[in-house]
């Protein structure tokens, strides 16, 4: 899983370097698909419940599961979440980043990105033997809400291994000590989705793209993390 995680990271690094005004989300998709093949893996999302692409690209008020499109040209001031999953020799890797499209992205949106990524690391630090998914969720939620942002409830992180989505669900909210216990050798994908405004969501007519109900911008970061005797081990570094 470290190998599949490493491939996901290389794809995200490559695609991130392409992000600029005038680039379309389909440009990112094509580059990612080529890169995944070159690195000897297979995409995990394409064909999953008929999802059509190898990436999810979610711009601005889109939270997750945005579908790459020729028509979606990134512009100054936008933020874009890029989510990628691959499978290598039967084992899955899954990670996401959100990047500013230009250096004119407003400071409060930069803060949204920083706080969301920090909250992911707060959650990762709780991925320890004997802790529960509630410890992970509470750590994420506390950090996000202290900054005045809100945590999405309708989409959650997940176990991952020989399937993209396994038990347990890993919410980005919760109560310490509650929920499924983390055991040695489990791997979980922790993926906070954080809204600038209110937490409510809706899904667009394409049946995939999740957006904020209030139209506020949203950020998303994800890592796969193994629960080990030596503490949390990030597999998508
Ligand atoms: Co995931």
Domain boundaries, the chain: 2-234
Mean pLDDT for all residues in the chain: 98
Encode pLDDT of 28-75 as tens digits: 999 999 999 999 999 999 999 999 999 999 999 999 999 999 999 999
Please provide the distance, in angstroms rounded to a whole number, between the alpha carbons at the two ends of the chain: 12
3-class DSSP state of 231? strand
Cα–ligand 1 centroid distance for 186 (angstroms): 15
Encode pLDDT of 127-160 as tens digits: 999 999 999 999 999 999 999 999 999 999 999 9
d(CA 93, CA 85): 5
Cα–ligand 1 centroid distance for 162 (angstroms): 13
Encode pLDDT of 160-189 as tens digits: 999 999 999 999 999 999 999 999 999 999
**Whether residue 168 has a cis bond before it, omega within 30° of 0:** yes
104 secondary structure, DSSP code: T
Query: Residue with structure tokens 């410890």?
Result: 135
Cα–ligand 1 centroid distance for 101 (angstroms): 23
Q: Which percentage of the chain shows pLDDT scores above 70?
A: 100
3-class DSSP state of 66? coil
Cα–ligand 1 centroid distance for 62 (angstroms): 16
CATH class of 2-234: alpha beta
d(CA 102, CA 93): 28
Cα–ligand 1 centroid distance for 222 (angstroms): 7
d(CA 60, CA 77): 9
Q: What is the pLDDT of residue 128?
A: 98
């Amino acid at each position: 899983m470290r190998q599949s995680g490493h491939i996901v990271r290389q794809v995200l690094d490559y695609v991130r370097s392409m992000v600029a005004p005038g680039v379309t989300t389909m440009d990112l998709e094509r580059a990612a698909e080529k890169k995944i093949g070159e690195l000897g893996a297979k995409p995990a999302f394409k064909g999953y419940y008929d999802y059509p692409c190898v990436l999810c690209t979610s711009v601005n008020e889109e939270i997750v599961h945005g579908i790459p499109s020729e028509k979606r040209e990134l512009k100054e001031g936008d933020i874009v979440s890029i989510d990628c999953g691959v499978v290598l020799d039967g084992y899955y890797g899954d990670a996401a980043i959100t990047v500013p499209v230009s250096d004119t992205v407003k400071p409060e949106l930069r803060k949204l990105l920083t706080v969301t990524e920090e909250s992911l690391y707060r959650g990762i630090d709780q991925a320890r033997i004997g802790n529960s998914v509630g410890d992970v969720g509470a750590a994420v939620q506390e950090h996000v809400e202290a900054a005045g942002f809100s945590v999405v409830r309708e989409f959650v992180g997940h176990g991952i291994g020989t399937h993209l989505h396994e038990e347990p669900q890993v919410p980005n909210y919760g109560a310490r000590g509650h929920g499924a216990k983390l055991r040695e050798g489990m791997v979980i994908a922790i993926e906070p989705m954080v809204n600038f405004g209110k937490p409510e969501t809706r899904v667009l007519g394409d049946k995939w793209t999740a957006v904020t109900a209030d139209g506020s911008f949203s950020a998303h970061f994800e890592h796969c993390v193994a629960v080990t005797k030596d503490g949390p081990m990030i597999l998508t570094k």
